């Protein structure tokens, strides 16, 4: 029987959390292009790959529109002025967009780490990830629901009127990111906001969006490119569009202030990437990779990716699989209870601390907030009574360097996969290190990704190709593993209010019940799940668990 406390919590979500009921947003809806994605993959893996790829063409349409817009030109002009005058550009995001923000900063710093490069602008780009750098490799629950957390992170970077913020939120409504934007405006910073839903819709339906979209101090870039290939999975086309626009911004600033090169036509180059990845040869290789991953996981094997120059890109995709498909997240080296992650990422050349330094090209920025800090920011006792372990010590407990990983190569199906980008400068040294470190693994595989384009100073199109390929591989594998129904994530975590709403909508659709009944069913099922001991067991999806309890099948 449902407890009275659980009933009150569910009713509160229905009555008082309507700002998080987001089914009206295009990014939360089912894409008609991929509505039968599971059936396409059942027909053949290559057919599924092509079906996934078709949604990326909508990003190209967006790029042509945005790159010719006055808002993008203003962002480039402002960015050049800020950097030239000694200010900083800070990218701010949460979840997928937070990881993107860190990647954009790293791409900038990677260029200035080169030999003989003028270091004058090396520190001109920085990033804010909701939850700090720790959230790059493991999601931090409920942080995105607090504007005060975002404001605090702006304050800790000591940003001021000579700086510029580019806030990125796929849905346009993430509270922590809006908090960073509001704090930036209060400090007199140049302010830009990128999102992937129609501005008019956000302005009309969500108060927290209206406050910033209508603020004359904020320049808005609407990157709407329709629903995601997987309903609600904004790590797909939404973040792809933001990576393309944010990366083009930095490439153009670098061209004007440092290299003197003529900027390329970024929309045309992105089209070349799509053409290359949609070729028969590329589709066949991607399909083969998906079949390999499915076979590994079905054989109870684990995959450990090894990477060099594009390690951060691999991190991003691998981390995002956990909340998206309810997979075990990365595990600390002192954790003996949680299940090992299906996929992990390691650098064969450096230890863990060295790996972070090499990936970020700076010291990690983790949050060491105390109970008093959380109470002062209005989090309430839920977080303050048990502050999350997301500081530098916890980060280093994820052994992502060359340290031995005996638990990841004990099974006959455990695999070491080397991922490289064609013609990347560090490939030779990386391969030598990979051969040495991967020797204990029973299965070995090498993957080379090519963008089909010429490399630019920040290698933007190489990064785009890596993202597109990894999104397709990780999503396609999960479709074949039965974790997608149609094009809905039927295995999804509920680590924030937006995901709670998404889970309720999915239960309502798959279980053929209304939203209200689905809400009560979910809250009751989660309460039941919390009473169970999941030691050394993978937790099921709250959606699947709820559907089973109400006697329905996905």
What pLDDT score does 533 carry?
Answer: 86
How far apart (Å, rounded) are the C-alpha atoms in residues 525 and 531? 10
CA distance 322 to 474: 11
Contacts of 544 (CB under 8 A, 6+ apart): 490, 491, 554
CB 447 within 8 A of CB 282: no
DSSP-derived secondary structure letter, 23: T
Buried-exposed string 485-502: b where 16+ CB fall within 10 A, e elsewhere: bbbbbbbbbbbbbbbbbb
User: Which pLDDT does position 125 carry in this prediction?
Assistant: 98
**Please, are residues 502 and 232 in contact by the beta-carbon 8 Å criterion?**
yes
Q: Looking at residue 443, what is its pLDDT?
A: 98
Segment holding 216, helix H or strand E: none
Q: Which burial class, exposed, middle or buried, applies to 360 when counting CB atoms under 10 A from its CB (0-12, 13-18, 19+)? A: buried
Place of tokens 């290190």: 433
In angstroms, the CA 531 to CA 523 distance is 13
Q: Which among 364, 332, 345, 307 has a CA at the least distance from the CA of 129? A: 364
Q: Identify the pLDDT of residue 490.
A: 81
Asked if 148 and 369 touch (Cβ cutoff 8 Å), the reply is: no
Burial letters for 41-65: b for 16+ Cβ neighbours within 10 Å, e otherwise? beeebbbbbbbbbebbebbbebbee
- The verdict on pTM exceeding 0.85 is yes
Helices vs strands, H then E, count in the chain:
23, 11
How far is it, in rounded angstroms, from Cα 102 to Cα 316?
A: 10
**Count of all residues that appear for the chain in the document:** 554
Domains of the chain, earliest start first: 4-30+489-549 (no CATH), 45-480 (3.40.50.10490)
Q: Are strands 415-421 and 303-307 parallel, antiparallel or unpaired?
A: parallel
For each of the chain's 554 residues, which pLDDT tens digit applies? 789 999 999 999 999 998 889 888 899 899 999 999 999 999 999 999 999 999 999 999 999 999 999 999 999 999 999 999 999 999 999 999 999 999 999 999 999 998 788 899 999 999 999 999 999 988 787 888 899 999 999 999 999 999 999 999 987 778 999 999 999 999 999 999 999 999 999 888 888 888 899 999 999 999 999 999 999 898 999 999 999 999 999 999 999 999 998 889 999 999 999 999 999 999 999 999 999 999 999 999 999 999 988 999 998 999 989 888 888 889 999 988 888 999 999 999 999 999 999 999 999 999 999 999 999 999 888 788 889 999 999 999 999 999 999 999 999 999 999 999 998 888 999 999 999 999 999 999 999 999 999 999 999 999 999 999 999 999 999 999 999 989 988 887 787 888 899 899 989 988 889 999 999 999 999 999 998 888 777 778 898 899 888 874 44
Would you say 358 and 347 are in contact if contact means Cβ atoms under 8 Å apart?
yes
Render 272-311 in DSSP notation, one character per residue. Answer: HHHHHHTSHHHHHHHHHHHHHHHHHHHTT--EEEEESTTH
């Amino acid at each position: 029987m449902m407890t009275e406390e659980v009933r009150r919590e569910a009713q509160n979500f229905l009555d008082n959390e309507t700002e998080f009921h987001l089914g009206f947003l295009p990014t939360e809806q089912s894409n008609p292009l991929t509505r039968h994605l599971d059936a396409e993959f059942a027909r053949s893996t290559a057919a599924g790959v092509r079906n996934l790829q078709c949604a990326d063409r909508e990003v190209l349409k967006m790029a042509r529109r945005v790159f010719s817009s006055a808002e993008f030109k203003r962002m480039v002009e402002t960015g050049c002025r800020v950097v030239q005058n000694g200010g900083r550009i800070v990218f701010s995001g949460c979840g997928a967009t937070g990881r993107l923000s860190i990647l954009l900063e790293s791409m900038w710093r990677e260029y200035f780490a080169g030999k003989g490069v003028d270091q004058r602008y090396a520190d001109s780009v920085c990033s804010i990830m909701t939850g700090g750098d720790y959230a790059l490799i493991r999601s931090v629950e409920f942080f995105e629901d607090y504007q005060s957390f975002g404001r605090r992170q702006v304050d800790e970077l000591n940003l001021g009127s000579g700086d510029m913020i580019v806030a990125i939120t796929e849905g346009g409504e993430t509270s922590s990111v809006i908090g960073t934007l509001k704090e930036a405006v209060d400090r007199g910073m140049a302010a830009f906001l990128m999102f992937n839903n129609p501005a008019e819709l956000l302005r009309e339906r969500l108060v927290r969006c209206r406050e910033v979209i209508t603020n004359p101090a904020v320049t808005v870039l609407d990157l709407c490119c329709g629903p995601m290939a997987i309903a609600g999975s904004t790590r797909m086309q939404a973040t792809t569009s933001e990576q393309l626009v944010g990366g083009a911004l930095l490439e153009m600033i670098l061209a004007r202030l440092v290299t003197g090169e003529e900027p390329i036509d970024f929309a045309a180059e992105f089209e070349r990437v799509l053409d290359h990845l949609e070729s028969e040869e590329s589709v066949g290789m991607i399909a083969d990779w998906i079949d390999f991953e499915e076979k590994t996981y079905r054989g109870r094997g684990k995959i450990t990716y090894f990477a060099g120059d594009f390690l951060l890109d691999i991190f991003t995709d691998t981390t995002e699989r956990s909340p998206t498909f309810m997979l075990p997240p990365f595990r600390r080296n002192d954790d003996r209870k949680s299940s090992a992650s299906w996929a992990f990422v390691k650098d064969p050349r450096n230890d863990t601390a060295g790996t972070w330094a090499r990936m970020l090209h700076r010291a990690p920025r983790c949050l060491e907030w105390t109970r008093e800090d959380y109470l002062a920011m209005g989090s309430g006792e839920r977080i303050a009574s048990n502050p999350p372990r997301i500081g530098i010590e916890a980060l280093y407990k994820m052994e992502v360097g060359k340290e031995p990983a005996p638990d990841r190569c004990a099974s006959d199906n455990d695999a070491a996969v080397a991922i490289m980008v064609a013609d990347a400068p560090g490939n030779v040294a990386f391969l030598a290190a990979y051969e040495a470190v991967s020797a204990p693994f029973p299965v070995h595989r090498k993957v080379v990704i090519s963008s089909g384009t010429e490399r630019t100073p920040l290698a933007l199109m190489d990064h785009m190709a890596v993202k597109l390929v990894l999104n397709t591989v990780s999503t396609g594998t999960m479709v074949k593993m039965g974790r997608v129904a149609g094009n809905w994530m039927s295995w999804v975590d509920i680590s924030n209010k937006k995901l709670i709403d998404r889970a309720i909508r999915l239960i309502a659709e798959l279980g053929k019940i209304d939203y209200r009944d689905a809400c009560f069913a979910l809250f009751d099922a989660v309460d039941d799940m919390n009473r169970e001991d999941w030691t050394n067991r993978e937790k099921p999806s709250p959606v699947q668990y709820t559907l089973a309890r109400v006697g329905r099948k996905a």
